Amino acid sequence: MVRRRFIPIFVMFVVLGTIQVFSSSPAFPAEEVKLGFAYPISGPAAQTGEEGMRGGQMAVKEINDAGGITVGGKKYLIKLIVEDSEYSTAKAVSAVNKLIFQDGVKWVGIQGTPAFLASRGVTEPAKVILTGLASIRDVLSPKTPYTFRTSVGAEARTPIQQVWLSENRPTVKRIGLIFADTQIAKEMVETLNRTCPKVGQEFVATELHDPATQDFSAILTRTMPKKPDGIVINLATKGIGPMIKQSREMGFKGIFIGAGVMPGELPDLAGKQNMEGTLLLTPDVKSSVTPKGVRDFYDRFRSKYSVEPGESGLTGYLDVQIFAQTLEKSGKVDDTDAWKSTLETQKFNTIWGEVYFGMKDFYGIGHQIMIPLLITEYKDGGLRGIGIVKPDKISEIMARIWGK
Amino acid sequence: MKKPLALVALLIALLMVPIFHISPYFLHILILIGTGILITAGFRLIFVTGRLTLGHAAIVGIGAYASSLLSTRVGMNFWLSMLFGGLTAALIAILLGFIVLRISGVYFAMVTFALAEVFKYFLVWWKPVTGGSTGIIGIPAPVISLPGLFVFDFGVNKVPYYYLIIFMLFVLLFLMYKMERSRVGKALHAIGENDLWASHLGINIAAYRVFAFATACFVAGLVGSFMAHYMHYTSPEDYSVMESLYFQINALVGGITSFAGPIVGTFAMVAVSEGLRFCGFGQYRPLPYGVFLVLILMFLPGGLVSLWRRIPSEGNDEKPF
Amino acid sequence: MENLSASYFLQVIVNGFYFGSWLMLASLGLTLLFGVAHIFNLAHGEFYMLGGYGTWFFFALHKINYWIAILLSMFIVAVMGIGVERYIFRRFRGNLLPTIAVCSGLILIFDNTVTAVFGTVYKSIPSVFRGSLLFWGARISIEKTAIILASLLLTSLAILFIFYTKPGSAIRAVAEDQEGAALQGISVNKVCALTMVIGSSLAAGAGGLVGPVYSISAEMGLPILLKGSIAIALGGMGSIGGVLIASYIIGMVESFSATFLGAEISSMILFLTLMVILMVKPTGLRGYTSQH
């Protein structure tokens, strides 16, 4: 009887093993270069993940339709392999593992701060280039030489917003923070503590909450008596729509200062009039302050997919552009050290115009992409672009706020 | 006896698997199955003594966190920290066990449910130590170092982890099997059947229950440590109530009355889950998984194991809940 | 800590009362089903969630009157509840492990079906009521006030039904002694089905009512399950009076500890309280140790 029990299991193993042997990935055609994305296509961040994926896919199609890239005199097509990180760090790490070890990818684009941080543990030892969207400062360091960031982090975004407010909306003096208790939160508190005094604002309230909460009555009960004029919130947190609604019901008359990427459904979840006056960094593509390359990108994306891309769509597209140009400029198809040097020294022609990687003084390593930030306000039921902060000004503000 | 022969054959087959250039992904699945089997076996052990725990995933988490903290903050080597992970879990099991195992039935389930949640909130609250909701990252890979001879770092290669879990599976399952067949095991079953009767037979119910609980938790703690070092990452999310439910599902689908139940059940459910991924269900995998689960529970109450035995599936034991 | 004024306290109390009312409505079904059919319905949160989605579907999407949308969802969920009880729970009646396992399956099925059909994007139900009431410095939105009133109303209706009607007395009979009731000619099956109808529709109603305050998502059932389980365990599984008292206790404890101590500690306190009570009196505050 024991025998009977074990033999089927044994047989199962053998059968499965055989199937696996025959289904292992075949050698890839020599005319392709591979790029991998580990994006949250399903789960809570599915919309931003999908946007990013489509942005990347659109870029790949445009480049391939134009004949591909030319590296060392030879033509190559880009193959983009997208894995679903399901918004879970463990799955992101699995996805990255699969991309590198099963698909042979040497450049991975990733979305999401925890995923970004954890994936470095796989990409750095394997000398794989990692780029993407992440919010905190620690993603870049001299200890992770193959990691580059293609988005601007909260350590720059928040000071930029606060400085802009101090120059353009001086009545917003008392600043509160209601933020999901994640890795970014600690940085946000530190950033605001440094920034507010330097621009004539007062940082009066800090509330860190469970990211899954939808009920903010306790937090708002504590915060309202402190009379904030502006509340910094994480636009990407799931509960933020209800938070905005509930805060208005509790009598909050000030503005919200949006950190992070705004999901498209937020105005519906929060109530459009509740969001009036919110300050964000999401591009308004109808505005002339937005660079032409970005506006064209939005138009093409919209006509192809019938939906608006967001910042993650931009980053996905940008990652592919940078990948393509890095390979072309370095003249190598799989030498990540050569790619690394190219990234560190060259300029790239992208939808944002000419960009490069820098800010070595601040991060210890010059791997931060220098793109402008667009100041946008939510007004009359829609986004209104009201200003642009160019990379030089960003560096200047960073030095001012973070300098000794 | 033919039994050891079959086992040796199985062992050899399993050891040979990586040699066939199996994709790392497949190895990953096997490793997941291995860890699942051990945890589910522990869950079953507790169940045999008449207690249904809804918080077993938290025990895994205790082991994972204890050993990860030792590895990352104190720099302890993996083998010691894994041992400590298991011991910590077992210790907590003993401390809590005497108080909590007295409660029976649904109430016990609720208490374990509550405990598991407290554990999760505790992890998030004690942020400076546990890293809060983001968890611990950068957990180092195990290293085998024989001073002066060689140093072998597991690194990012899945194969050493695979061999380790196979080793753990065989050793721990063997020990658990032997225990269940011994007088201790018979006492445990007796307690599960009928408290009153067992105590009249002179069995110290509390002591045996705590022993079973501690053993199951020790194993769970070891596995938790293994998984944390395998993923190089752990966070409170990995130890939710839903995770505990998955172990119950494995046990029940396999057949709770049999020792092989957790093995067969875990294998089946992971196979279903991954198989669905290949079928292209993608993010909607839990749907057919849930349907499959409900159907099995409704039409095969004895679990998959009842297919092997020609014993009519009488459903689960009539435990006095 | 600044501002320990009377209005601050009042605000905390008002918040707590709101939590308690909502929790009571959401948990009543869970305790009823356990008391009568001895089923711990782990999938109870799913009915709540389906009620929310149903209300969204009818009201937000198809512009049907808000209250009618809620009633429609309650009806649909009640029908589903009967189906689940009849074809699934009945097979395992009494047996805890398979019930929990099958509920896990149901949770997976419902959550993913809903996501597959409606997408992962959270949905919002527009508020029917605008504005808030201000009294003695404490604010409560009219929306939340409506929820409190509706919860009290529905709960009262359910209690009146159970204690003052003939079917209600059948329910009470089965809850007290299944065999005895059967011997009296009461159809236990029908009573269980009826209990399920009441329980699941109340949960669905709670989901729909509370929709505008939060947002609708597939995961909204799980926190309710958690809190609801604490409520019924604290109050005594199967006891209606118990779950009433327990809901408000939990509501107040949570409001006070969340406001003064922080959210995580408040959850820990809640669970620890539950643990202690269960260890001292496993049947909860008002639970009776009836044999099953």
pLDDT band of residue C205 (cuts 50, 70, 90) is very high
Interfacial A residues in 121-160 facing B (CB < 8 Å):
121-122, 125-126
> Which residue pairs, CB below 8 angstroms and at least 24 apart, start in B170-178?
B170/B11, B172/B38, B172/B41, B172/B219, B172/B222, B173/B37, B173/B38, B173/B41, B173/B263, B176/B41, B176/B45, B176/B215, B176/B219, B176/B259, B177/B259
Q: Is residue C289 part of a domain?
A: no
The angle, 0 to 180 degrees and rounded to 10, between the axes of the packed helices B24-48 and B205-231 is 170
pLDDT band of residue C63 (cuts 50, 70, 90) is confident
Interfacial B residues in 52-111 facing C (CB < 8 Å):
52, 54, 99-100, 102-107, 109-111
For residue C47, the domain's CATH number is 1.10.3470
Chain B residues with CB-CB distance to A9 below 8 A: 10, 263-264, 267
Q: Is residue C7 part of a domain?
A: yes
Q: Is residue C287 part of a domain?
A: no
A13, A19, A20, A22: CA torsion to nearest 10: 150
C229 three-state secondary structure: helix
Q: Is residue C191 part of a domain?
A: yes
Nearest CB among A3, A14, A117 relative to B13 is that of A14
- B18 pLDDT exceeds 70? yes
Q: Which two tokens stand for residue C81?
A: 């509840």
- For chain B, say whether A10 makes contact (Cβ under 8 Å): yes
> For position A15, what pLDDT does the model report?
59
Mean pLDDT of B78-92: 93
Chain C closest-CA separation from residue B148 CA (Å): 49
Q: In this structure, which amino acid lies at residue B276?
A: L
> For position A23, what pLDDT does the model report?
44
> For position B1, what pLDDT does the model report?
43
Alpha helices by DSSP H, A34-88: 46-65
Chain B residues with CB-CB distance to A12 below 8 A: 267
Task: Provide the residue range defining the domain that includes C158.
Answer: 2-280
- C32 pLDDT exceeds 80? yes
Which of C201, C223, C175, C145 shows the shortest CA–CA distance to C35? C175
Cross-chain Cβ contact B52/C97 below 8 Å: yes
Nearest CB among C19, C131, C263 relative to A213 is that of C263
Q: Is residue C52 part of a domain?
A: yes
pLDDT in tens, B116-134: 888 888 888 888 888 777 7
Q: Indicate the pairing of strand A174-180 with strand A230-234.
A: parallel
Q: Indicate the pairing of strand C132-135 with strand B136-137.
A: unpaired
Total tally of structural domains belonging to chain C? 1
pLDDT in tens, A319-349: 999 999 999 999 988 899 999 999 999 999 9
- Rounded Cα distance between A78 and A61, Å, is 8
Cross-chain Cβ contact B264/A90 below 8 Å: no
- A368 pLDDT exceeds 50? yes
- Rounded Cα distance between A275 and A267, Å, is 7
- A26 pLDDT exceeds 70? no
- A38 pLDDT exceeds 90? yes
> For position B317, what pLDDT does the model report?
45
pLDDT in tens, A275-311: 998 999 888 888 888 899 999 999 999 899 888 887 8
- For chain C, say whether B313 makes contact (Cβ under 8 Å): no
> For position A4, what pLDDT does the model report?
54
SS3 content of chain C, % helix, strand, coil (to 5): 75, 5, 20
pLDDT in tens, A180-193: 887 788 889 999 99
> For position C252, what pLDDT does the model report?
92
Mean pLDDT of C169-177: 86
> For position A24, what pLDDT does the model report?
45
> For position C16, what pLDDT does the model report?
93
Tell me how crowded residue C165 is: count the other CB atoms within 10 A of its CB: 11
**The Cα angle at residue B36 between residues A39 and B126, in degrees rounded to 5:** 65
> For position B271, what pLDDT does the model report?
87
Nearest CB among B107, B246, B252 relative to C278 is that of B107
Cross-chain Cβ contact B293/C104 below 8 Å: yes
Cross-chain Cβ contact A12/B13 below 8 Å: no
- Cβ contacts of C111 within 8 Å, gap of 6 or more: B286, C46, C49, C218, C219, C221
Chain C closest-CA separation from residue A117 CA (Å): 25
> What are the residue boundaries of the structural domains of chain B, listed by start?
25-239, 240-321
Please give the mean pLDDT across all residues of chain A: 86
The ipTM (two decimal places) reads 0.82
Nearest CB among C131, C213, C258 relative to A218 is that of C258
Cross-chain Cβ contact C120/A212 below 8 Å: no
Residue to test with chain A: of C2, C11, C250, C255, most A Cβ within 10 A: C11
- The percent of residues in chain C predicted with pLDDT above 90, rounded, is 32
Domains of chain A from N-terminus onward: 31-152+290-371 (3.40.50.2300), 154-280+376-402 (3.40.50.2300)
